[in-house]
């Protein structure tokens, strides 16, 4: 049972644990054990758990929403987990998000859990009030104990969990604490920075104690050029530098720096603007700041980035067209990944407020639920295309027609040039190309003897026949992909046949099957079996998927028992008929392992 000590004890513990000079272990060393989820670059603020979706009269279809995000290639989702709803009264913890988190996990998402907002009973007196849940806590240890309770509930270890609770592998400490609207003690004040530093240290220790393999993120901070700070808002890097000055131990109290490199008024790669405020400049500046702060070991993630579209209300009345939003999505995600960002959560998938007159609601890439569907914007198709081709590809530097230059010695960006970033997937080579503001004709060299396909931003494909070792391209603001090699979707599995090995008398046998796409794009699949003793953890999904398989072996005698499993893929990707066998032996000996399935 998780309990909270008396408040006088909290004050004493807070003084001893937060303000002590004990040095935290380096975050990367703590988090070096195997993670329960592979970290994918492809994330989104899907907000399946957002508080607005808890309303009894809320008109939504969360299973469809989550399924559409997965079908677009989203692999991780960033989810709000408000403290003020989970512990509305001291020691009154409530599993209000159990069902929505379970739905999220069942769809196969990795989850970033944001621990934010303060219940009225725990708020600092300087900003306490019934409707001011962005007021920081009066005592950082209260927040840390909430974090510890959350991690114990959702660490997936079977101890103190809600029944069937999912695994949350990454925890973000608040959201935008460098803005007064979400950190009411003031990000420019010593008191505000000290409180956030105290929270970082206390929560980091609580999270690692509950789940040593969990990843801890700073609250996502808005980054601009690393210089400005006024009473209401600070550049995130300036804010965190001040936090480290106030609480030196906070420097080691995170694994990942989370940044929000919004550039709502311009292109992500706009020419002739200050170099530091392009997406590339902000990412590079954030990495340089980590290195200078003694945290070169920390990872760099983007947990919000996006553009708001017309029509509707946008910040400062700055709007882009839906076509521009789609172009900027592709360009900024590719630039960020090639400059060392390990994960990006795009903002946002759908507006949980269902209110086009709310700022940033029109940054969504699908429209609100109309009773049967979520109509998509061009950015949805652009994300699906990009994630489908690059989701399991490796960054491979620049391509042969890349002329863009980032010169940190120059204050402005210059003309921009041609962007040509390269990826590889096995023998397949994928290039992404665009120009920031204009278009040009160019000759693109390709390999001899391989299939060459040009893919439009929204997924339309056309085969191209090279001439003299090159193809002719028009490169413009609308990105294109050049794929050299296998472009067709192709269903693949990790076991064929599927084999279980058990001792006689065992009641069940278990295994996993990874369903993937060895070609390009995303495959929707379904599975079925006529075999009575075979059980499937799920019968449908999108690639890549991990499917739990089990066999009821209670009545099986010595020998080999056979069955079958059929997996059918979409987009002409094939049908796989998998033999399934259970080998029952008298004694399961070391010599039997591993099971050899091709003899």
pLDDT at 598 exceeding the cut of 90: no
Instruction: Inform me whether the pLDDT recorded for 532 exceeds 90.
Output: yes
Tell me if 103 sits within 8 A of 114, measured CB to CB. no
Residue 123 DSSP class: B
Q: Is residue 533 part of a domain?
A: yes
Q: Is residue 74 part of a domain?
A: yes
Q: Examine the fold and report which residue of 484, 499, 518 is the final residue of a domain before the chain moves on.
A: 484
Same domain, 446 and 554: no
Domain check: are 92 and 236 in the same one?
A: yes
Tokens for 353?
A: 């407020």
Q: At CA 528, angle to CA 527 and CA 529, rounded to 5?
A: 140
pLDDT digits (tens, 9 = 90+) for 326-357: 999 999 999 999 999 999 999 999 999 988 88
Three-class DSSP category at 19: coil
Check which CATH number belongs to the domain holding 534 and give it. Answer: 2.60.40.10
Q: CA 172 to CA 186: how far, in whole Å?
A: 20
pLDDT at 56: 64
Provide the token pair at 177. 């604490």
Angle at 110 (CA atoms; ends 107, 116), nearest 5 degrees:
110
For 62, the domain range is: 7-306+331-349
Mean pLDDT to the nearest integer, 537-560? 89
pLDDT at residue 30 is higher than 60: no
Residue that wins the pLDDT comparison between 588 and 224: 224
Q: Is residue 564 part of a domain?
A: yes
Sheet holding 498-503, edge to edge: 498-503, 575-585, 559-569, 524-528, 540-542
Tens digit of each residue's pLDDT (9 = 90 or more) over 59-86: 789 999 999 999 999 999 999 999 999 9
**Separation CA 525–CA 493 (nearest Å):** 12
First and final C-alpha spacing in the chain: 51
What is the number of other CB atoms lying within 10 angstroms of the CB of residue 239? 26
How many whole angstroms separate alpha carbon 235 and alpha carbon 221? 8
Same domain for 472 and 337, yes or no, is: no
Indicate whether 6 pLDDT > 50.
Answer: no
Tens-place pLDDT, residues 470-485? 999 999 999 999 999 9
Does residue 146 lie in a domain region?
A: yes
Per-residue pLDDT of 295-333, as tens digits, reads 999 999 999 999 999 887 888 778 999 999 999 999 999
Find all residues with CB under 8 Å of 393, minimum gap 6, and list them: 423, 424, 425, 428, 430
- Domain end, chosen from 467, 484, 501, is at 484
Beta strands in 160-241 (DSSP E): 170-175, 215-222
- The answer to whether residue 258 is domain-embedded is yes
pLDDT at 593: 44
Q: What is the pTM of this model?
A: 0.85
In a domain, 194, yes or no: yes
Number of domains in the chain: 3
d(CA 68, CA 383): 12
Please indicate, yes or no, whether residues 39 and 181 belong to a single structural domain of this protein.
yes
461 and 569 assigned to the same domain: no
Under 8 Å between Cβ of 272 and 189: no
Q: How many CB atoms lie within 10 A of CB 412?
A: 11
Are residues 83 and 139 both part of a single domain? yes
281 with 428, same domain: the answer is no
Q: Using 50, 70 and 90 to split pLDDT, how confident is the model at 27?
A: very low
């Amino acid at each position: 049972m998780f309990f909270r000590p008396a408040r006088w004890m909290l004050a004493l513990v807070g003084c001893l644990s937060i303000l002590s000079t004990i040095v935290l272990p380096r975050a990367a060393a703590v988090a070096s054990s195997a993670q329960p989820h592979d970290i994918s670059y492809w994330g989104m603020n899907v907000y399946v758990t957002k508080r607005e979706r808890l309303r009894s009269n809320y008109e939504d279809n969360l299973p469809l929403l989550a399924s559409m995000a997965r079908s677009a290639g989203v692999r991780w989702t960033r989810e709000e987990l408000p403290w003020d709803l989970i512990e509305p009264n001291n020691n009154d913890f409530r599993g209000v998000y159990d069902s929505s988190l379970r739905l999220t996990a069942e769809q196969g998402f990795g989850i970033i859990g944001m621990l934010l907002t303060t219940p009225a009973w725990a708020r600092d007196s300087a900003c306490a009030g019934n409707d001011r849940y962005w007021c920081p806590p009066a005592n950082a240890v209260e927040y840390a104990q909430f974090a510890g309770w959350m991690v114990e509930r959702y660490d997936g270890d079977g101890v103190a969990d809600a029944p069937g609770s999912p695994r949350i592998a990454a925890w973000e400490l608040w959201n935008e604490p460098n803005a007064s609207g979400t950190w009411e003690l003031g990000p420019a004040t010593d008191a505000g920075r000290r409180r956030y530093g105290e929270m970082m240290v206390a929560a980091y220790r609580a999270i690692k104690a509950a789940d040593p393999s969990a990843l801890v993120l700073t609250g996502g901070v808005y980054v601009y050029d690393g210089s400005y700070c006024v009473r209401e808002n600070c550049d995130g890097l300036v804010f965190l530098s001040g936090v480290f000055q106030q609480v030196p131990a906070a420097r080691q109290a995170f694994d990942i720096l989370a940044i929000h490199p919004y550039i709502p008024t311009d292109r992500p790669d706009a020419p002739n603007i200050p170099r530091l405020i392009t997406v590339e400049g902000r990412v590079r500046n954030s990495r340089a700041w980590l290195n200078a702060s003694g945290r070169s070991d920390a990872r760099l993630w983007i947990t919000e980035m996006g553009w708001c579209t017309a029509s509707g209300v946008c910040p400062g009345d700055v709007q882009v067209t839906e076509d521009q939003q789609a172009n900027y999505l592709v360009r900024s995600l590719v630039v960020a990944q090639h400059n060392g960002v390990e994960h990006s959560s795009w903002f946002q998938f759908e507006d949980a407020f269902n209110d086009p007159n709310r700022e940033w609601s029109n940054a969504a890439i699908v429209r609100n639920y109309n009773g049967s569907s979520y109509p998509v914007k061009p950015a949805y198709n652009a994300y699906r295309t990009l994630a489908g081709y690059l989701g399991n590809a490796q960054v491979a530097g620049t391509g042969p027609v890349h002329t863009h230059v980032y010169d940190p010695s120059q204050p402005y960006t210059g003309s921009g040039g041609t962007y040509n970033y390269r990826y590889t997937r096995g023998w397949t080579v994928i290039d992404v190309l665009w120009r920031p503001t204009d278009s040009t004709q160019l000759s693109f060299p390709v390999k001899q003897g391989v299939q060459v396909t040009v893919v439009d931003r929204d997924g339309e494909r056309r085969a191209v026949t090279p001439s003299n070792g090159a193809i002719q391209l028009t490169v413009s603001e609308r990105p294109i992909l050049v794929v050299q090699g296998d472009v067709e979707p192709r269903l693949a599995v990790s076991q064929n046949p599927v084999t279980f090995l058990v001792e006689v008398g065992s009641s069940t046998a278990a295994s996993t099957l990874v369903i993937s796409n060895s070609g390009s794009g995303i495959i929707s699949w379904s599975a079925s079996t006529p075999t009575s003793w075979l059980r499937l953890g799920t019968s449908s999904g999108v690639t890549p998927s991990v499917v739990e398989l089990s066999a009821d072996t209670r009545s099986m005698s010595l020998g080999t028992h056979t069955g079958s499993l059929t997996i059918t893929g979409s987009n002409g990707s094939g049908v796989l008929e998998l033999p399934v066998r259970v080998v029952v032996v008298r004694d399961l000996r070391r010599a039997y392992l591993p099971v050899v399935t091709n003899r």
